Amino acid sequence: MSKVRLTGSTSGYAEITAPAVAGNNTVTLPSSNGSVNQLLKNGATPGTLEYSTVSIGSTGELDKITAINGGPLAGFRNRIINGNFDIWQRGTSFSPTDNTYTADRWAIVFDGTGATRTISRQGFSLGQTDVPREPEYFVRFAQSVAGSGSTRNRIDQRIEDVRTLAGQQVTISFWAKAAASTTMPSVVLQQYFGTGGSPSANVDTTAGISLALTTSWQKFSYSVSLPSISGKTLGTDGIDSLVVLFNMPLNATFTIDIAQVQLEPGPVATPFEQRPIGTELSLCQRYCFVAPANWLAAKGGISTGVGDFSVLGAFPTTMRVPPTASGVTFATSNCGTPSLMYLTSGSASYGTVSSASGGALFNLTAGTYSAEL
């Protein structure tokens, strides 16, 4: 093995060692010294080095990096919320009706009759290596009875604001498998301009078509250019969005699993972005807050006898709009059932009247507050 040793002007040296391989390798150095902040890289001819400034280019090459807080290396680059399927505030198994939310931020949309669907949270085995970075959960879409007459059958996420990534090259990536060899019809990015007034028609961009799923996890990645929204008109109801649609087989039985969904700017699928679980929960709670028992509690009428009393509860994060409350129940003592006094994007207030002296109280036992798109 041959070596070239370059001795310094005072002491020490730099040594270049040729690899122990058959054949010849030639490295040609540039004819100039280059400029400040440039690096050497292979040129058009392998082995011929040239100087280059480093940044992220249009085809994903490194060229002119001035910072790593933008583009595909940025934090919060994944526009999907709960793409790791960690947050399930509403429950972990559903037999949904049309347009029902299941895992946080993920809705099921379908038509037709007679089909039986179950959407559920499934867990990865500890230490598995099929899907990298140790995810804990994935979503399962199981259709055990085919039904008939279906023209749509999907799981989707509605990303707030149709301006999201408009006019940009984007990449969607995810992992998927099936219980048996199955063709997933398509993955589509839909620019939805909302309702109310005279909004523009939806614009669909197909990312992937006829995805061949097997019984083993596979990573799928598609890069597309989203159209500009110049000249488009928004609806007046404030529900415009960029929708990611996973279109499922129609009028058929199947079981499809999906994990680690990521939508990001740029032409390259980067490793799945794992945000802190508290951060992900807060992002979800902008759209849905399932109140725990005793989130609200009030006590009144201790010495004054019959009288009004109320309590205000602040949501964990400001919601997208004042939410719709459903499934709200209370436990009461010496008072009537509390009624909603007001509801804002930041809080809810309930009040009632004590029915006896000596103390009255109520506490919330359940409630869901939804500001979904």
Average pLDDT score, the chain: 90
304 and 244 within one domain: no
Please tell me the pTM assigned to this model: 0.82
Residue 76: is it exposed, middle or buried by C-beta count within 10 angstroms (0-12/13-18/19+)?
Answer: exposed
Shared domain for 112 and 245, answered yes or no, is yes
pLDDT (0 to 100) of residue 16: 75
Residue from 298, 289, 316 nearest 352 by CA: 298
Whether residue 188 is found in the same domain as residue 243? yes
Shared domain check, 350 and 295: yes
Residue 70: inside a domain, yes or no?
no
Whether 215 maps to a domain, the answer reads yes
pLDDT at 305: 55
Least reliable range by pLDDT among 97-111, 176-190, 258-272, 287-301: 287-301
User: 43: part of which helix (H) or strand (E)?
Assistant: none
Question: Could you tell me how far CA 138 lies from the centroid of its own chain?
Answer: 13
Alpha carbon 174 to chain centroid distance?
11
Q: Please tell me the distance from the alpha carbon of residue 45 to that of residue 270, in angstroms, as a whole number.
A: 28
Q: Which of 232, 262, 283 is the last residue of a domain?
A: 283
User: Tell me, what CATH number does 330's domain have?
Assistant: 2.60.40
Consecutive H or E run containing 350: strand 347-353
Q: Which residue has the higher pLDDT, 32 or 83?
A: 83
Is 63 contained in some domain? no
Q: Give the span between the Cα atoms of 169 and 172, in whole angstroms.
A: 10
Domain membership flag for residue 25: yes
Distance CA 325, CA 343 (A): 9
Task: Give the rounded percent of residues in the chain with a pLDDT score beyond 70.
Answer: 90
Residue 251 contacts residue 143 (beta carbons within 8 Å): no
Tell me, yes or no, whether 308 and 160 share the same domain: no
36 and 168: one domain? no
| C-beta separation of 71 from 266 below 8 A | yes
pLDDT digits (tens, 9 = 90+) for 130-158: 999 999 999 999 999 999 999 999 999 99
Among 270-284, 305-319, 337-351, the least confident range = 305-319
Q: Are residues 198 and 137 in the same domain?
A: yes
Is 57's pLDDT higher than 80? no
What is the count of structural domains for the chain?
3
Answer whether residue 76 is part of any domain. no
Residues facing 211 on adjacent strands: 184
Q: How far is CA 313 from the centre of its chain?
A: 28
Q: Distance between CA 366 and CA 296 in Å, rounded?
A: 10
Same domain, 256 and 231: yes
Domain boundary among 254, 283, 312: 283
Burial class of residue 157, CB neighbours in 10 A (0-12, 13-18, 19+): buried
Domain boundary among 53, 69, 84: 53
Structural domain includes residue 59? no
Residue 56: its pLDDT value, please? 47
Asked, for residue 85, whether it belongs to a domain, the answer is: no
- Cα separation, 272 vs 261, in Å, equals 8
Cβ 281 vs Cβ 87: under 8 Å: yes
Segment 244-274, tens digit of pLDDT: 999 999 999 999 999 999 999 999 999 999 9
Q: What residue numbers bound the domain in which 30 lies?
A: 1-53
The CATH code of the domain that includes 261 is 2.60.120.260
Residue 181 maps to a domain: yes
Residue 72 has pLDDT above 70, yes or no: no
pLDDT at 148: 98
Mean pLDDT of 228-236: 98
- 264 and 294 part of one domain: no
Q: Are residues 296 and 232 in the same domain?
A: no
Amino acid at 235: G
Same domain as 167, residue 110: yes
For a pLDDT cut of 90, what percent of the chain falls above it?
74
Q: Which of 314, 298, 369, 368 is nearest to 346 (CA)?
A: 314
Q: Is residue 145 located within the same domain as residue 176?
A: yes
Contact 312, 332 (CB under 8 A): no
